[in-house]
Structure 1
Amino acid sequence: MRLRITHHTVYDYERPVSFGVQSLRVTPSVFEGQKVIDWQVDMGDTSEAGAGYRDGAGDWVQLWTIHGPISKVPVRIEGEVVTTDLAGVLRGHREVIHPMVYLQTTKMTEPDEALRDLAAGPEQGLGDLDLAHALSHLVHEKVAYRTGVTNGLSTAAEVLAAGGGVCQDHAHVLMAVARARGLPARYVSGYLHADAEGNIHEAAHAWAEIHVGGLGWVGFDAANATCPNDLYVRTGSGLDSRDAAPIRGVTAMGGAEKLEVTVAVSRVEA
């Protein structure tokens, strides 16, 4: 499937920014499931692209420098990607970090008693793949998709207690229970053209990847009860949403900030 992505973000600062450095992890991943046709990132006339590098997880990171004073900083991401359905398997992705690194918990994914109880649900003795599917199914059942229930700082424990959340929250809960059962798991950021019901997605998306013996990394989108297919575009990964943030950095001055975000993922007919 050929998908066109338009992702525009404007940072509106309380006070003008005199200087800043941003780290962008927004370039589609390189693996057999997707091929970039065109991809452009721009931060306006007051910003300058710096060094870029591929990190140990195989993600492309681009540094940008902001030269102020400026009150609004735009980030424009546009491009086209051809995707292939690999049933969630991250085939052909080159990285050097050992999967066992992703067994470590973070503040966002630290399991409490309720998460450990949820993780214990699937029977013992299941193979890695069956266990991963069972855990994803449980998270989908226990965490309803509801906006306004959580925020960007909500932990997996808080999400499970609330019984609802958005895609970021489903990913954190699934990662927490997978790690509790000894399966390495990580957070993945990217885009989704449409959900399981065919509703067009108008925001960036997130899901989890679980390392499965014999297959490697396999994606699980517990929010939509599916594995990523050709409707998905993968851009980056990390230990949790903070670690995998598409845009992060530091600014001098600026103060409080507001965000305006528009995302469109459309299918391009051949």
Structure 2
Amino acid sequence: MRINVEHETRYTYETPVSYTIQSLRLTPQPFDGQVVRSWEIEAPGAGFLHAFTDSFGNLTHTLVIDRPHEEVVIRVRGKVDTIDTNGLVAGALEPFPPLFYLRETAQSKPDGAIRALAGAARTAAEGDHLKGLHILMNSIRDAIEYQTGETHVHTTAVEALANGAGVCQDHAHVFIAGARSIGIPARYVSGYLLHTDTGEESEAAHAWAEALVPDLGWVGFDVANRVCAHDNYVRVGVGLDYWEASPVRGMRRGGGEEELAVSVRVAQSGGAAQQ
């Protein structure tokens, strides 16, 4: 399948900002289920965007504006060919050994409730790791209703589960925390999801998790939609949690209050994807 992506992020400030620096993890990388046909990022007023590969293998661009400005606009356009691999992620750049992804972070640290969900899933699966992760995925989705406005980027896995409502970021964090608590390496993934063929506009990108299934490999689990990632998904960034895979992260000097507006349009291309 060929997927077209258009993504705009706009920060507007109350007063002029004297300096902005941001890291942009907005460029998908190839693996066996994904080929990037074209991709570009533009940020008017920022000049050249320095590119580098971060420690997780994410292609990252550095945006710097060192003169007074009242807004920052980042636009992404690209085409990606995808293949349904039944969630299996092979052929991706893997800088870290799998056991690195057992490491806890502030956002993905489990508590007793998360450990209980994961333990119950493992018991019910009777030794079948893949089955256990599917049970965990559905248990989390049952426990956390998809609802915007209930959480924010700083919400932890513990807080999201206790709240009982959240978005894809929260589902991913709880899944990661649960999987790690039973000894399964897991990581956070940011990217895009084709919801419909018409490419209706949304206000956010998407997030899911990947877990290392013994004797199989890394498998993507989208808890919010109760499925393994397939050819409607464009995989962009990975990390231990949201902060290490976040599409845009940075700092500024001045500006007062800010307003953030995000528009994302993901559509299937009219042309056939090349396999």
TM-score (normalizing by structure 1): 0.93
Deviation of 1:253 after TM superposition, in Å, equals 2.0
CA separation in 2, counterparts of 1:230 and 1:201? 19
Q: What is the SS of the residue equivalent to 1:211?
A: strand
Partner residue, 1:101:
100
Letter in 2 for 1:107: A
Distance 1:201-1:83 versus aligned 2 partners, 3 A rule: farther
Letter in 2 for 1:108: Q
Does structure 2 retain, via aligned residues, the 8 Å contact 1:49–1:62? no
Deviation of 1:201 after TM superposition, in Å, equals 6.7
Does structure 1 retain, via aligned residues, the 8 Å contact 2:199–2:267? no
Q: What is the SS of the residue equivalent to 2:132?
A: helix
CA separation in 2, counterparts of 1:218 and 1:18? 43
Partner residue, 1:216:
217
CA separation in 2, counterparts of 1:81 and 1:50? 21
Does structure 1 retain, via aligned residues, the 8 Å contact 2:171–2:224? yes
Partner residue, 2:88:
89
Distance 1:19-1:148 versus aligned 2 partners, 3 A rule: closer
CA separation in 2, counterparts of 1:267 and 1:33? 16
Letter in 1 for 2:174: V
Deviations 1:210-230 (A, max 9, x none): 111222211000110001111
Letter in 1 for 2:84: D
Distance 1:28-1:131 versus aligned 2 partners, 3 A rule: same
Deviations 1:100-127 (A, max 9, x none): 1111111111111111111111244523
CA separation in 2, counterparts of 1:5 and 1:69? 30
Partner residue, 1:35:
35
CA separation in 2, counterparts of 1:123 and 1:103? 17
Q: What is the SS of the residue equivalent to 1:121?
A: helix
Letter in 1 for 2:64: T
Deviation of 1:164 after TM superposition, in Å, equals 1.6
Distance 1:199-1:253 versus aligned 2 partners, 3 A rule: closer
Deviation of 1:157 after TM superposition, in Å, equals 1.1
Does structure 2 retain, via aligned residues, the 8 Å contact 1:59–1:236? yes
Partner residue, 2:240:
239
CA separation in 2, counterparts of 1:123 and 1:215? 17
Deviates most, 4-13 or 248-257: 248-257
The count of residues paired between Structure 1 and Structure 2 equals 267
Does structure 2 retain, via aligned residues, the 8 Å contact 1:9–1:260? yes
CA separation in 1, counterparts of 2:54 and 2:205? 22
Deviations 1:51-72 (A, max 9, x none): 3122332211111211321011
CA separation in 1, counterparts of 2:54 and 2:73? 25
CA separation in 1, counterparts of 2:187 and 2:209? 6
Deviation of 1:200 after TM superposition, in Å, equals 5.1
Partner residue, 1:160:
161
**RMSD of aligned Cα (Å):** 1.7
Deviates most, 206-215 or 218-227: 206-215
Q: Which runs of 5+ in 2 are unaligned?
A: none
Structure with higher helix content: 2
Q: Which runs of 5+ in 1 are unaligned?
A: none
Does structure 1 retain, via aligned residues, the 8 Å contact 2:199–2:265? no
